[in-house]
Amino acid sequence: MQIGNIKLKNNLILAPMAGVTDVGFRSLAVSYGADYAVCEMVSAKALKYKNKKTEDLLITAPNEQIKVAQIFGSDPKIMASIVKSKYLSKFDIIDINMGCPAPKIVKNGEGCALMKNMELAKSIISECVKATNKPITVKFRAGIENNVNACEFAKMCEQAGASAITIHARTREQFYSGKADLKLIEKVKKSVKIPVIGNGDVIDEQSYLQMLKTGVDAVMIGRGALGKPEIFSEILNLNKPVNKLEDIKFHINTLRQYYPETLVVKEMRKHILWYLKGYRNSTQLKTQIVKEKSLDKVIDMLETFFNETK
């Protein structure tokens, strides 16, 4: 598969997830075989006003050979200005979020709200395409407010110049409940000629193969990768050895290179709870880690736990 001039090898991608796909987690996903891992979505308006926290979300790891940023907003001019700004200069692909279901985002007319404003969505995409020679992609949902218009939206994205699209086959109202509609993904794939990436409910090789049956060109994994970046290796049968303790330490130490200790402690808590999912007798450790403010002590506790569970 090719997105614009960017060639993929494995056709497996880590989805952008707010508060999850930080530089450490993305680096792990790529090391386990993901073609690329998308940064957390960032506000174009926040970048325009030089918001430091937003800029920090765009830090990338040395092993990210294909760098992909995802931006959101509802002003075509601002979106286009950010696409050609210094903030996104190092990125190879720029994705536009038109699928986020969060109430705050939708209320502002951004994310999934753009699925009910096709003309504005088309203007945003076309302005961004004009602003760069890099591939512009779009991620969206099945629909919003009981209007499942994913096929029409996909055609519009193609007409506006998008190089590829990603479809998460749930409506805005479903958020992440129920099952992703694979038949809808199949219809979307048949409705356009540009590459289509399928997203939703891929948690193992079996669900990956089910997604491939829709005819998609690539598969994007989101929640199935939480605490389990090795999912890419497992699906691709790469047989990469997994050392959960070393992965957690790598994640922590990568974040430490770029962010203050207090922020890393806060961000790693949820990640560590995901990493420890399924481990017997980890309840007490989880309780301690949530309260601990020293990363070195967290690492010590983890080393003790994993040494005892060998």
User: For every one of its 310 residues, what pLDDT tens digit does the chain have, with 9 covering 90 and above?
Assistant: 999 999 999 999 999 999 999 999 999 999 999 999 999 999 999 999 999 999 999 999 999 999 999 999 999 999 999 999 999 999 999 999 999 999 999 999 999 999 999 999 999 999 999 999 999 999 999 999 889 999 999 999 999 999 999 999 999 988 888 899 999 999 999 999 999 999 999 999 999 999 999 999 999 999 999 999 999 999 999 999 999 999 999 999 999 999 999 999 999 999 999 999 999 999 999 999 999 999 999 999 999 999 988 7
List domains and CATH numbers for the chain.
Answer: 2-236 (3.20.20.70), 244-308 (no CATH)
What value, to the nearest 5°, has the Cα angle with vertex 198 and ends 125 and 203? 135
Instruction: Give the pLDDT confidence score for residue 49 in this predicted structure.
Output: 96
Annotated active-site residue 100? The verdict is yes
Task: Please tell me which residue in 100, 112, 128, 151 is annotated as part of the active site.
Answer: 100
Residue 53 exposure: Cα atoms within 13 Å on the Cβ side? 5
In three-state form (DSSP H/G/I as H, E/B as E, the rest C), the secondary structure along 199-238 is: ECCCCCHHHHHHHHCCCCCEEEECHHHCCCCCHHHHHHCC
| Six-digit token string for 253 | 């130490």
Q: What's the DSSP call for residue 8?
A: P
Instruction: Tell me if 168 sits within 8 A of 174, measured CB to CB.
Output: no
Q: Among candidates 255, 238, 237, which has minimal Cα distance to 298?
A: 255
Percentages (nearest 5) of helix, strand, coil residues in the chain: 45, 15, 35
Residue at token pair 């050895």: 241
pTM listed for this prediction: 0.96
Q: What is the pLDDT of residue 177?
A: 85
What is the pLDDT at residue 178?
A: 84
